[in-house]
Amino acid sequence: MTSRERVLLAIQHKQADRVAIHDSPWGTTEARWHKEGLPEKQSSSAYFGFEFRANAGDNTLQLPTKVIEETDEYKIATTGDGAIRKNWKAKTSTPELIGFTITTKALWEEHKPRMAMNDTRVAWDKQLAANKEYREKGFFITMNYGPGFTKVCNMVGPERVLIAMVEDPAWVHDMVMTEARLCVAIAEEMFSRGFQFDAGWIFDDLGFKHRGFFSSAMYREILWPAHKLICDCFHARGLPMLLHSCGYVTEFVPLFIEAGFDCLQP
């Protein structure tokens, strides 16, 4: 049984030859494993037989990136969304969020036209070659996105987004919908150029340990339509939708199902 067949059966709540497995170890974890016996030229994905492979596009504002400061221990750089982040070199953690370009609704309106589909958003030759290789080897292939709440937090800042969800929800809704439409446009173009996917996969962290970051009512009003738009794109082709969401998101599960998600990876 191929990985593709195995994962599809799991999503359909049917029995396969064994449990489908997948993980995404941090780079520093994998480096340590190589010191502890993992063959030097073999990835953990190949060694353990992980089932999934993915393609992706660039869903940023495509602002110029630059390194602001770099030492032996860390690097501070800007992202394609204009955020300033600090990342450690020899260890892995969530990045320190230092600053943002998009700090007001007016600045969002100024930069919003950049959130449009163009031919530079996908490394077409490289990605299509990888997609064909994944299909030939029987992997379960997903189109991966990081949209929604996580996306606007990375672009505007978590505190600013959460306050805006109360004081100006229409602004946050506009940001997530604009970005969701870009995600759909990227997927549609990839389908048209011969990419084959088995599912779409959204990564959007919506909670901390004991609660969601916001209420179910806020999720439905502001974010749910963006998730549904992307789900509808893949469902129209008979493909399932997966959602990764860290934190306590149990209260959102009925709305996840209504949006069209077929699988939740906590």
**What pTM was estimated for this model as a whole?**
0.95
What are the tokens at 26?
């941090």
Best CA proximity match to 152, nearest among 186, 182, 121, 119: 182
Non-local CB neighbours of 38 within 8 Å, separated by 6+ positions: 30, 44, 47
Is a pLDDT exceeding 90 seen at residue 266? no
Instruction: State the average pLDDT over residues 229-246.
Output: 98
Most distant CA pair in the chain: distance in Å? Answer: 55
- Residue 11: which pLDDT band, with cuts at 50, 70 and 90? very high
Kindly state the tokens that stand for 44.
């953990």
Q: Would you say residue 126 has pLDDT above 90?
A: yes
Q: Which of 150, 25, 38, 27 is nearest to 90 (CA)?
A: 27
User: Above 90 in pLDDT, residue 143?
Assistant: yes
Instruction: Read off the pLDDT of residues 40-64 as tens digits, 9 standing for 90 and up.
Output: 999 999 999 999 999 999 999 999 9
Instruction: Tell me phi and psi for residue 205, to 5 degrees.
Output: -80, 125
- pLDDT given for residue 222 in this prediction: 99
pLDDT digits (tens, 9 = 90+) for 177-207: 999 999 999 999 999 999 999 999 999 999 9
Q: With pLDDT > 90 as the criterion, what percentage of the chain qualifies?
A: 97
Query: Would you state the pLDDT for residue 198?
Result: 99
pLDDT of residue 59: 97
Q: Read off the pLDDT of each residue in 135-144 and give the average, rounded to a whole number.
A: 98
Q: What is the pLDDT of residues 70-120, one digit of tens each?
A: 999 999 999 999 999 999 998 888 899 999 999 999 999 999 999 999 999
What's the pLDDT score for residue 102?
A: 98
- pLDDT band at 38; cut points 50, 70, 90: very high
**Which alpha helices (H) appear in the chain, and where do they start and end?**
3-11, 27-35, 44-48, 105-111, 124-136, 148-156, 158-167, 169-192, 216-218, 224-235, 253-259
Pick the CATH number of 52-60+101-265 from 3.30.300.30, 3.40.50.300, 3.40.1390.10, 3.20.20.210: 3.20.20.210
Predicted pLDDT at 156? 98
- What would you report as the CA-atom Rg of the chain, rounded to the nearest whole angstrom? 19
CB 169 within 8 A of CB 111: no
Which residues make up the CATH 3.20.20.210 domain(s) of the chain?
Answer: 52-60+101-265
Q: What is the mean pLDDT of residues 116-140?
A: 98
